Structure 1
Amino acid sequence: MTGLSSVELNGSISSTLRRDFSRLHVDRTVGEALAEIRRRPPPNRIIYFYVIDDDDRLQGVIPTRRLLLSDLQTPLSEIMVREVVTIPHTATVLDACEFFVMHRLLAFPVVDDQRRVVGTVDVELYTQELSELDRSEHSDDLFQLIGVHIAESQQASPGTAFKSRFPWLLANVAGGVMAAFLSGMFQRQLQEVVAIALFIPVVLALAESVSIQSVSLALQTLHGKRPTLRGVIAKLRREFLTGAMLGAACAAIIAVVAAVWLRDPRVVVCLIGGISGGVAIAAVIGVAMPNLIRISRRDPQVAAGPVALAMTDMATLLVYFNLARALI
């Protein structure tokens, strides 16, 4: 098999699928499955056994060693791995290469929209392609899309790690300095109602926590996929609604505490609006950053967190302080 060109990299994986993968029914025992395999041995090498139901939907995967060493009376459902990393049938060859690099597995099932297995991709089919890509002029672009720069992966020294990670931490430094400036701009409100300042840590902590949650979820969904504008907009809309609900729930708890403790309705309203608005915006930022960084072909794993946190702090403080200015 010859190396893949840049055009083929963006082509469908359908041409590289193995259709003769090993299926086992979820209702079988280990003994029944082994007997069936002996009656109808797979024509090619076996890496994993894929467990399906009556509708051919993927239920789990069983490594060969686990099947051979398990008791014959054990149901397959008890030894199969239920959390299976799958590749969508709409994926490209480049997406499949990314799965092999990131997950370090020997094969992946390819599933349709109903989670039916349409084939598998085997690392054997991609070994030559990945090797030739590593030596080709396209290799740097490939690994940037995957989120791993070749030079960095080959020179994982402390100095190299420092150079790759420190610039992104400057986003946190800049965010902290800007937060101090913002506090100075709203100094009058903070002096007039000291309680506003008392709740700044909890307001920021909630927004930052939700932002990091959103970043983590976005990074998971980016595996094997390149974001599209329509897809990102849909994710932002969903995450905004989720963030608004999370913010409202947290704000209600904090507001009750403030009402009982301080008995100042202005602080209560400021907390409700500041936390609800800040957390909703933080959720949007957390989803947007990994996708935007990935679109720009940078490493979202390293960059998304610091950038999202810095922007979250700024946005949350602006919402919180402006509400305080309007109410006081």
Structure 2
Amino acid sequence: MATPDEDHSLLRSDRLSRDFVSVGAEDTVAQALEKIRSTPGTNEIFYCYACDPAGRLVGVVPIRKLIRTAPEERISSLMFTRVVKLPADAPDSLVEDFFVTYRFLAFPVVDAEGRIVGVVEVGNFVDTFSDTLFDEVEGRVRDEVFRFVGLPEDEMKERRPLHMALRRFPWLLVNIGGGFLAATVSRIFEQTVERLVVVAAFIPMVLVLSESLGVQTTAVSASMLAEQRVDPPQVRREVLGTSLAGMMAAAVVALLGSLYAHNLTFPLVLFIAITLSTSLAAGLGAVLPFLFHRFRVDPHMASAPLVLAISDNITLFTYFSLVTHLVVRGPL
């Protein structure tokens, strides 16, 4: 971003363009188009600006909307009255923020009385700040990635190794706890694994699917919270879509499992276990970020480790239980 010393008003800037078209709010589309054709230097205009009899800016019409409307239509019936405009004394930093925030192709610039004095076009302004904008966006993305994997936003500024370790350790405890529970579940079903070695061979595949889909839905919910919006229909669609993807993956794994079995029992177990575990992981990933947010816990830093720990253990328990009751105690 520009520093205060670098700021200067748009009126004294060579980035302010005088090539714009203003029409009366009560003009017709035909009159506006004729004015556009007769105005020199308007080959690349994006918007037509509507003014009242005193010359004050009261509305804006995109050119593409203008040329698609009947010639007798009034500008007042087409224009957007909530105009995003810049003051003539706006510093470069404010103009830069407008382009980043609103993503418009051009902004009208008005004086103290609200009369349009020029426009600032994206091609004449943003190129100068491309490096600054890139660094800013890159920083935002980095912060989001850091938070999602359990790191604070200012991690790159921390110079003390001990403090870095203490900040990361609590979330490692969640992983340790989840891993210990998984080891305990495996110990409970030790005889099942001993009697059917192929069960152990498919454990990594079963776990990684639920983990992957759980993290995906967690990312969607966390992004909603970052945008400060909650869209229940979208959350439901996300869970349903992720569950269906898990079912498809379960079918593929079951097909692979059939290569190691003499009948369909073991592939069926794989299909059921993966379908249930991925659906559960999708639901947890969608709900937990909102739950943490409600209790004022950072959802980015807490959701993903907990989703992985819970889904891993329920996945293992479901998988081992189904194998024990349907395969080991029955014919393979």
Tell me the TM-score range normalised by the shorter chain.
Answer: 0.5 to 0.7
2:210 paired residue among 207, 212, 216:
207
**Is this contact kept in 2: 1:293–1:303, CA < 8 A?**
yes
Query: 1:239 deviation in Å?
Result: 4.0
**Is this contact kept in 2: 1:30–1:70, CA < 8 A?**
no
Cα RMSD (Å) of the superposition? 4.3
Aligned to 1:83: none
**Is this contact kept in 2: 1:254–1:271, CA < 8 A?**
yes
Aligned to 1:216: 219
Aligned to 2:180: 177
Q: Distance in 2 between matches of 1:60 and 1:219?
A: 24
- The 1:268/1:150 distance shift into structure 2, 3 A limit, reads closer
For residues 309-320 of structure 1, the aligned pairs below 5 Å read 309-320=308-319
Determine if the alignment matches structure 1 residue 33 to structure 2 residue 21. no
1:297 is paired with a residue of what secondary structure? coil
For residues 237-316 of structure 1, the aligned pairs below 5 Å read 237-316=236-315
Query: 1:271 deviation in Å?
Result: 0.3
- The 1:43/1:212 distance shift into structure 2, 3 A limit, reads closer
**Is this contact kept in 2: 1:48–1:61, CA < 8 A?**
no
For residues 43-62 of structure 1, the aligned pairs below 5 Å read 44=87, 45=90, 47=95, 60-62=103-105
Structure 2 counterpart of 1:170, one-letter code: L
* Range moving further from structure 2, 305-314 or 162-171: 162-171
Q: Distance in 2 between matches of 1:244 and 1:195?
A: 26
**Is this contact kept in 2: 1:255–1:268, CA < 8 A?**
yes
TM-score, length-normalised on structure 1?
Answer: 0.55
* Range moving further from structure 2, 150-159 or 203-212: 150-159
Q: Distance in 2 between matches of 1:238 and 1:221?
A: 14
For residues 130-209 of structure 1, the aligned pairs below 5 Å read 157-209=160-212
**Is this contact kept in 1: 2:292–2:299, CA < 8 A?**
yes
**Is this contact kept in 2: 1:239–1:284, CA < 8 A?**
no
**Is this contact kept in 1: 2:96–2:126, CA < 8 A?**
no
**Is this contact kept in 1: 2:258–2:264, CA < 8 A?**
yes
2:296 is paired with a residue of what secondary structure? coil
Which sections of structure 2, spanning at least 5 residues, go unmatched?
A: 1-20, 22-35, 50-54, 58-84, 107-119, 128-138, 142-149, 328-332
Determine if the alignment matches structure 1 residue 67 to structure 2 residue 123. yes
Q: Which has the larger radius of gyration?
A: 2
Q: How many equivalent residue pairs? A: 222
2:104 is paired with a residue of what secondary structure? strand
Query: 1:264 deviation in Å?
Result: 3.8
- The 1:269/1:192 distance shift into structure 2, 3 A limit, reads same
Aligned to 2:24: none
1:309 is paired with a residue of what secondary structure? helix
- Deviation track 1:135-154 (CA, whole Å, cap 9, x = no partner) reads xxxxxxxxxxxx99999999
Which sections of structure 1, spanning at least 5 residues, go unmatched?
A: 1-23, 52-57, 72-100, 104-146
**Is this contact kept in 2: 1:165–1:302, CA < 8 A?**
no
**Is this contact kept in 2: 1:168–1:306, CA < 8 A?**
yes
Q: Distance in 2 between matches of 1:61 and 1:189?
A: 63
Q: Distance in 2 between matches of 1:159 and 1:192?
A: 47
**Is this contact kept in 1: 2:213–2:242, CA < 8 A?**
yes
For residues 68-147 of structure 1, the aligned pairs below 5 Å read 68=124
- The 1:237/1:62 distance shift into structure 2, 3 A limit, reads same
Q: Distance in 2 between matches of 1:176 and 1:322?
A: 18
Query: 1:156 deviation in Å?
Result: 7.2
2:290 is paired with a residue of what secondary structure? helix
Q: Distance in 2 between matches of 1:279 and 1:322?
A: 16
- The 1:276/1:34 distance shift into structure 2, 3 A limit, reads closer
How many percent identity over aligned positions?
Answer: 28
